[in-house]
Amino acid sequence: MSTKIDGKQVAATIKADLAERVNTLKAQGVVPGLGTLLVGEDPGSMKYVAGKHADCQEVGITSVKKELPADASFGQIAEAVRELNDDPACTGFIVQLPLPKGVDENAIINMIDPAKDADGMHPYNLGELVLHVRADIATPLPCTPRGVLELLDAYNIDLEGKEVCVLGRGITIGRTIGLLLTRNAVNATVTLCHTGTRDVADHMRRADVIIAAMGSAGFVTPDKIKEGTVLVDVGVSRVFDEEAGRYRIKGDVDKACYDKAYAYTPNPGGVGPMTRAMLLANVVEMAERSSR
């Protein structure tokens, strides 16, 4: 029997712990606050930001919301970032991507105070992650990669010496999770596959763990994995369900793989809830560091 790795359940446990830590901080006069900057009215982005603030309410974190119209200029967006940097009620914040066409997203991200980078994606914080192979890291970590490791750890899946195949080289996880997996504390061996990889299936069949983050629905099929593989599905695709007459979210891993796997994360309900929980964890840890 393969094991279903329940991200919702693990995230709920983490949030319960965070709620206790938030209460401790408040008793010390420190109130953690998560800020969000939303530009435009993209339905997916609006729903995602609303979910983050619902999570904040659940654990007692203050919400700091900034919204700008879709035609906001680079200067207006930059000014909103500076305001969040300077706002004492905002412990950490995120700029919801994508930004409107023509706005340099990297330039905006670079303007975030690294100490308030709730996503852990500021170049300074990524650089700290690169540098600290052995020592503890005292800067925010990227939420999705951190969520994957926390999820596997919750199910006692040891990655020491394991061959991990990462599918996709996006900045959200593909290019960053290897930095966490190859730290001494984890000690995995990582192969990163992308569109330039000659025989992706060969790498997949040799892997003990596959982390799929391509956004290609059902790409990982039973013939491409070995028996007992751990499957982590991070990919998100909207696929039209003709029977239901509506779009559904599908992951990169074909469900037919589940019986062959040692363990798997469902999608949705696997890594997604953990990403949101890690965002809260980053904010609480920032507050804890500031209170010392």
How high is the pLDDT of residue 158? 98
In a domain, 126, yes or no: no
113 CA to centre of own chain: 19
In a domain, 279, yes or no: no
Torsion sign, CA atoms 235, 129, 121, 20 = positive
Are 49 and 38 in contact by the 8 Å Cβ rule? The answer is yes
pLDDT digits (tens, 9 = 90+) for 33-53: 999 999 999 888 999 999 999
Confidence tier at 187 by pLDDT (50, 70, 90): very high
Examine the domain organization and report whether 269 and 162 are in the same domain. Answer: yes
Examine the domain organization and report whether 55 and 163 are in the same domain. Answer: no
In a domain, 290, yes or no: no
In a domain, 125, yes or no: no
Please report, for the domain that includes residue 42, its CATH number.
3.40.50.10860
Instruction: Give the total number of structural domains in the chain.
Output: 2
Greater confidence (172 vs 240) lies with 172
| Share of residues in the chain with pLDDT > 90 (%) | 92
Distances in Å between the alpha carbon of 118 and those of 86, 109, 133, 138, 284?
A: 15, 11, 21, 13, 10
Examine the domain organization and report whether 36 and 149 are in the same domain. Answer: no
Examine the domain organization and report whether 183 and 250 are in the same domain. Answer: yes
Per DSSP, 222 falls in state G
pLDDT digits (tens, 9 = 90+) for 159-181: 999 999 999 999 999 999 999 99
How high is the pLDDT of residue 249? 85
Residue 87 scores a pLDDT above 90:
yes
Residue 240 scores a pLDDT above 90:
no
Are 173 and 212 in contact by the 8 Å Cβ rule? The answer is no
Examine the domain organization and report whether 149 and 103 are in the same domain. Answer: no
Task: Please give the full DSSP string across 20-83, using - where no structure is assigned.
Answer: HHHHHHHHTT---EEEEEEES--HHHHHHHHHHHHHHHHHTPEEEEEEE-TT--HHHHHHHHHH
Question: Binding site residues for NADP(+), as ranges?
Answer: 168-170, 236
How high is the pLDDT of residue 16? 98
Are 258 and 232 in contact by the 8 Å Cβ rule? The answer is no
How high is the pLDDT of residue 247? 85
What is the rounded distance in angstroms from the CA atom of residue 119 to the CA atom of residue 10?
20
- Dihedrals φ, ψ of 77, to 5°? -65, -45
Confidence tier at 291 by pLDDT (50, 70, 90): confident
Domain that holds residue 211: 143-273
In a domain, 120, yes or no: no
Examine the domain organization and report whether 157 and 102 are in the same domain. Answer: no
Are 222 and 244 in contact by the 8 Å Cβ rule? The answer is no
pLDDT digits (tens, 9 = 90+) for 135-158: 889 999 999 999 999 999 999 999
Closest CA to 261 of 212, 222, 228, 224: 228
Helices (H), the chain: 7-27, 43-59, 74-86, 105-110, 123-131, 143-154, 177-181, 200-206, 271-291
How high is the pLDDT of residue 9? 98
Q: Which residues carry out catalysis?
A: 52, 96, 119
* Average pLDDT score over the chain: 96
Confidence tier at 248 by pLDDT (50, 70, 90): confident
Examine the domain organization and report whether 156 and 251 are in the same domain. Answer: yes
Examine the domain organization and report whether 153 and 267 are in the same domain. Answer: yes
How high is the pLDDT of residue 135? 86
* Average confidence (pLDDT) over 190-194: 98
Helices (H) and strands (E) in the chain, counts: 9, 11
Is the overall model pTM greater than 0.85, yes or no?
A: yes
Examine the domain organization and report whether 159 and 86 are in the same domain. Answer: no
Confidence tier at 290 by pLDDT (50, 70, 90): confident
What is the rounded distance in angstroms from the CA atom of residue 197 to the CA atom of residue 190?
14
